[in-house]
Structure 1
Amino acid sequence: MLGGGLIVESAGTWGHEGAPMEANAETVLTDFGADPAGFTGRELLDEHVIRADLVLTATRDHRAQVISMGHSAGLRTFTLKEFTRLVNAIDPATLPPLEDGVVTRARALVRAAAALRGWLLAPTVEADEVYDPYGAPLPFFRSIGDEIHQALDPVVTALTGVPARM
Structure 2
Amino acid sequence: MRGGARRAWPSQLRQDATEDCVVASFTILTVCSGNICRSPLAEQLLRVGLVRWPEVALGSAGTIGLTGQAMPYEAADLSRHFGGDPSLHVARVLTAEHLSEADLVFAMSREHRRAIVELYPRAIRYTFTIREFARLVNGVTDEDLEEAAALPLHDVVGRFSTLVGFAASQRGAVNPPESPDDDDVVDPYRRSDEVYAESARQLVPAVNEVVSLFHRSTRVHQP
Same fold (TM over 0.5): yes
Residue from 140, 145, 157 that aligns with 2:212: 157
Partner deviation per Cα, 1:61-109 (whole Å, 9 max, x = no partner): 1000000112511110100110000111432333213824432222111
Give, in whole Å, the separation in 2 of the partners of 1:41 and 1:26: 13
Task: Count the aligned residue pairs.
Answer: 162
Which residue of structure 1 lines up, in the alignment, with residue 113 of structure 2? 63
1:99 aligns with 2:149: no
Describe the SS at the equivalent of 1:8: strand
Residue in structure 1 matching 2:97, options 47, 61, 66: 47
Aligned-partner residue type, residue 138 of structure 1: D
The list of structure 1 runs, each at least 4 consecutive aligned residues, that deviate by more than 6 angstroms after superposition, is none
SS at match of 1:11: strand
Instruction: State the partner residue of 1:114.
Output: 168
Q: Is the 8 A contact 2:65 2:94 kept in 1?
A: no
Higher percent of residues as helix: 1
- 1:102 and 1:160 in contact (8 A); partners too: no
Structure 1 unaligned spans of 5+: none
Q: Separation in 2 of the partners of 1:5 and 1:112?
A: 20
Give SS of 2:161's match. Answer: helix
Identity %: 31
136-145 or 60-69: bigger deviation: 136-145
Query: Of the candidates 126, 134, 138, which is equivalent to residue 88 of structure 1?
Result: 138
Q: Tell me, which stretches of 5 or more residues in structure 2 are unaligned?
A: 1-13, 15-50, 218-223
Provide closer, same or farther for how the CA distance between residues 92 and 10 of structure 1 changes in structure 2, counting only shifts above 3 A.
Answer: farther
Q: What CA RMSD, in Å, does the superposition of the two structures yield over aligned residues?
A: 1.8
User: Is 2:190 the partner of 1:135?
Assistant: yes
Structure number with higher strand proportion: 2
Bigger radius of gyration, 1 or 2? 2
**1:37 is aligned with what amino acid?**
S
Aligned AA (1:106): F
Confirm whether residue 147 of structure 1 aligns to residue 197 of structure 2: no
